[in-house]
Amino acid sequence: MRAALCLMIAIAMTSAARADSNRDEVWLGGSARALRSASANALTGANLAGTSLGVARDLGLGDDTGLAVWAVASLVTGDADGTMFDTLTTELSSIGVTGGVRVRYQLHRLIAASARVELGGQRIRVALTDRSGASASDHGWGAVASVGAALDVFAVARPPLGLGLRVELGYVVGPSIAITPRAASAGDALRLPMTELALGGVDLRGPTFALSAVGQF
């Protein structure tokens, strides 16, 4: 009888512990990526600025120390404008789709630190426009890897809903993507003059910063 009672108490405590934590997460915020490669800096002196959003799920692989492993999927966009040769206006944009894991450590009931690793692909687009209005553009896809370290601070952390803010510093790296802008129409000719401008590989690697609103449920 005493053993059965102890078992019932243990089951109840385990259920309560599971019920006391949220297992799913969504986030939405702003992101920035500093461009460090010569190919990117030739197009723009600005940083990529855009949106970061994603979802995550607790895989239940944590332990009693407060460590937990979450599966994550993210979408990050970025845009930057610039000039080339003092005559061409440049527009650079990117969309990255990645997935991976986040290892989270609970520092306090309302504070958590985490590290993230993700792999996926990114699409970049480059558009050039001269002073006469003639334009040329191209886009391409390539692999991308993203890592980050974050600090979460929650106003509310218990079910049915947790709400907080995440500050994350990270780094994005991937191979150069071949870009050859082509004239938007047969009559366009950029004032270089040419109908195609081979930019070679465009490398958008660089450190990142993101500030996001986080919801857990």
Show the CA angle centred on residue 32, arms to residues 46 and 154, nearest 5°. Answer: 155
Report whether pLDDT(71) > 50.
Answer: yes
| Helix, strand, coil content of the chain in percent (nearest 5) | 10, 60, 25
DSSP per position, 111-160: EEEEEEEEEEEEEEEEEEE-TTS-EEEEEEEEEEEEEEEEEEEEEE-STT
Q: Enter the tokens of residue 32.
A: 């920035």
DSSP per-residue codes, 153-194: EEEE-STT-EEEEEEEEEEEE---EEE--EESSTT--BTTTB
- Considering the entire predicted model, what is its pTM? 0.81
Q: Please determine, for residue 42, whether its predicted confidence score (pLDDT) is greater than 80.
A: yes
State the pLDDT at residue 167. Answer: 98
b/e per residue, 88-125, with b = 16+ CB within 10 A?
bebbbbbbbebebbbebebeeeeebebebebebebbbb
Domains annotated on the chain, with CATH: 22-216 (2.40.160.20)
pLDDT at residue 52 greater than cutoff 80: yes
- Please give the Cα distance from 71 to 82 (Å, whole number): 37
Residue 10's pLDDT is what?
39
Q: Provide the 8-state DSSP code for 196.
A: B
Query: For residue range 174-197, what is the model confidence (pLDDT) as tens digits?
Result: 999 999 888 766 555 555 544 455
Supply the pLDDT for residue 3: 44
